[in-house]
Amino acid sequence: MMQKSTIALITQSLEYFAAHHGDPYARAYQALYAHDAAYEALFVLDSDEGLRRNMMRTTLEIIATYLDDPDAAANRIIGARMSHIPYGIETDFDVFFEITRTVISAGCSDIWTPDHHAAWTQMLTDFKAARLA
């Protein structure tokens, strides 16, 4: 059972980030390529960045879904995990959610507390567990 405070803390951080920095897209992909430089080449055909923007949007949508309905979010993650297997992204799938937290937390440094970190950790742990057995 998800605590109300978890929902409130994650929501607050997303709203604060959006109000002060807008879209996390550019920072998130910078961090993804810093994590593994080979990842940039995977998007070579994505010349208008549409796929990458969709991937960022989907990531944020899954988080929003989780705050309302964790089981529905888990189902979306299971599907997205599978669609990444052809790209060779399996164990690193969860990295993009981690990166999203890192980017949001950096942009929220004025309000970020250990409780925000703990709320995100609970969510990311649930996301990691969302897989076919």
Q: Where on the chain is the footprint of ligand HEM (CB under 6 A)?
A: 32, 39, 42-43, 45-46, 51, 54-55, 58-59, 62, 80, 84, 87, 89, 92-93, 95-97
- Closer CB to ligand HEM, residue 5 or residue 83? 83
Compute the least distance from the CB of residue 25 to ligand HEM, in Å.
Answer: 13
Compute the least distance from the CB of residue 53 to ligand HEM, in Å.
Answer: 8
Sign of CA dihedral 19, 70, 51, 103: positive
Going by C-alpha positions, the residue among 15, 37, 17 that lies closest to residue 25 is 17
Side chain identity at 49, as an amino acid letter? E
- Closer CB to ligand HEM, residue 5 or residue 58? 58
14 alpha-carbon distance from chain centroid: 11
